[in-house]
Amino acid sequence: MARVVLLYSPSASPAVRAALTARGWAVTLVSTLAEGKQALGSAGIDLVILDDPSWAQAKEMIAMLDAGPRPVPRLWVSSLPEAPAHSGRLGVDALLLDPQDIDGIAAQAERFIEPRLARASTTPLFASGSSPAVRTAPRAARGSGEWDDESTGEWP
């Protein structure tokens, strides 16, 4: 079953839609808030992408998502200079600041749609030889041959 992405794009960007469709996802393109509300009510949406709407439009769409029956990941693509400050208030899951970076938008969407599976292997993450050698000999005692209490901060 294809994942469903709701692309809210007031400027109706065909490039973003094409990039998402090329990945095999079903993309519902809406250009008005009324269309967005209708689309949210009719289908199981896996991700919502806000493609460079105005601040007021983004705020209204997020309010509709917040009122929905289940949480849906939200990706906000914005060229607004105040977007980083507003993204925290909106509660978006990710913010991209370059609406022209179509590959970046699709890659970020992919992180939400198809997250990496948990590692099945228990082998170390480091390649052999990349970790510092582990000291196998016990540490020598100081001075008198007895261990000093390092927690007191007193040095011999």
What's the CATH code of the domain at 84?
3.40.50.2300
| 23, part of any domain | yes
Domain assignment of residue 93, given as a range: 4-113
Q: What is the pLDDT of residue 59?
A: 93
| 120, part of any domain | no
pLDDT higher at 80 or 149: 80
| 53, part of any domain | yes
pTM of the model: 0.70
Q: How far apart are CA 131 and CA 6, in angstroms?
A: 45
Place of tokens 């992180």: 111
Q: How far apart are CA 55 and CA 66, in angstroms?
A: 16
Q: What is the pLDDT of residue 147?
A: 53
Whether residue 76 contacts residue 58, with contact meaning beta carbons closer than 8 Å, is answered with yes
Q: Which two three-digit tokens encode residue 142?
A: 């100081």
Q: What is the largest CA-CA distance in the chain?
A: 82
120: DSSP letter: -
Domain tally for the chain?
1
